[in-house]
Chain A
Amino acid sequence: MIFQRVFHKSTAEVVGQPPTVVIQPTSGWKPINLSELWQHRELLYFFTWRDIKVRYKQTAIGGAWAILQPLLMMIVFSLLFGKIARLSSGDIPYPIFTYCALLPWLLFMLGLNTASTSLVVNERLITKVYFPRILVPSAAVLAGLLDLFIASPLLIGMMFFYKITPTASIATLPLFILLALMTTMGIAFWLSAMDVQYRDVRHTIPVLTQLWMFATPVFYPSDLIPEAWRIWYGLNPMAGVVEGFRWALLGQGGTPEPLIAVSVIVAVVVFVGGLFYFRRMERSMADVV
Chain B
Amino acid sequence: MSDIAIQVENLGKRYRLGEREPYKALRDIIASGVSAPFRRLTHRQEGKHQANPEYIWALRDVSFEVKQGEIVGIIGRNGAGKTTLLKVLSRVTEPTKGWAKVWGRVGSLLEVATGFHPELTGGENIYLNGAILGMKKTEIARKFNDIVDFAEIGDFLGTPVKHYSQGMYVRLAFSVAAHLEPEILFIDEVLAVGDAAFQQKCLGKMSDVARGGRTVLFVSHNLAAVTNLCSVVYLLDKGQVVTSGPPQEVIGKYFASIRPSRAVSLRQRQDRSGDGRMRFTDLVIQDGKGNPISVTASGQDIEISVGYEASDNQPLQKVRVGIAFHDLFEQLLVLCANDLTGELFETLSPRGRIVCRIPHLPFYPGRYNFNLHAEVNGIVADWLQPGGTLEVAGGDFYGTGRLPPESHRSFLMSHRWTANESKIDSVVNGNE
Interface residues of chain A, those whose CB is within 8 Å of chain B, are: 1-8, 10-11, 14-17, 19-26, 42-43, 45-46, 49-50, 53-54, 57-58, 124-131, 196-201, 283-284, 286-289
Contact = CB atoms under 8 A, between A and B. Distances in A.
B96 A25 contact: yes
A2 B23 contact: no
Contacts of B213: 4, 7-8, 11
B89 A196 contact: no
Nearest to A14: B103
Of the listed residues B27, B93, B105, the one surrounded by the most CB atoms of chain A closer than 10 A to its CB is B93
Interface in B83-122: 87-106, 108, 110-111, 114-115, 117, 119-120
Contacts of A49: 128
A59 to B, nearest CB: 11
Contact of A199 (B25, B114, B160, B178): B25
A1 B208 contact: yes
A23 B23 contact: no
Contacts of B115: 124-125, 129
8 contacts: A19-B102, A22-B100, A23-B99, A23-B102, A24-B95, A128-B114, A197-B23, A197-B24
Contacts of B114: 124-125, 128-129
Given A3-B214, A198-B29, 5 more contacts: A6-B212, A20-B106, A42-B136, A131-B132, A289-B23
A54 to B, nearest CB: 5
Given A6-B181, A21-B102, A128-B114, A54 B119 contact: yes
Nearest to B22: A288
A287 B179 contact: no
Contacts of B209: 3
Nearest to A201: B26
Contact of B20 (A24, A43, A53, A287): A287
A57 B119 contact: yes
B15 interface: yes
A20 B181 contact: no
Of the listed residues B15, B69, B89, B101, the one surrounded by the most CB atoms of chain A closer than 10 A to its CB is B101
B201 interface: no
Of the listed residues A1, A26, A58, A287, the one surrounded by the most CB atoms of chain B closer than 10 A to its CB is A287
A145 B32 CA distance: 41
A17 B208 CA distance: 27
A17 B3 CA distance: 10
B23 A199 contact: yes
B212 A19 contact: no
Of the listed residues A1, A3, A11, A16, the one surrounded by the most CB atoms of chain B closer than 10 A to its CB is A3
B153 interface: no
A130 B92 contact: yes
B15 A287 contact: yes
A46 B88 contact: no
B131 A2 contact: no
Contacts of A199: 23, 25
A54 B90 CA distance: 28
B24 A20 contact: no
Given A7-B213, A8-B213, A53-B120, A25 B97 contact: yes
A53 B120 CA distance: 8
B211 A4 contact: yes
B212 A20 contact: no
Contact of A129 (B89, B101, B110): B110
> Which 10 pairs from chain A and chain B are nearest by CB?
A3-B212, A19-B101, A24-B99, A200-B26, A130-B91, A46-B131, A23-B100, A4-B212, A6-B181, A286-B93
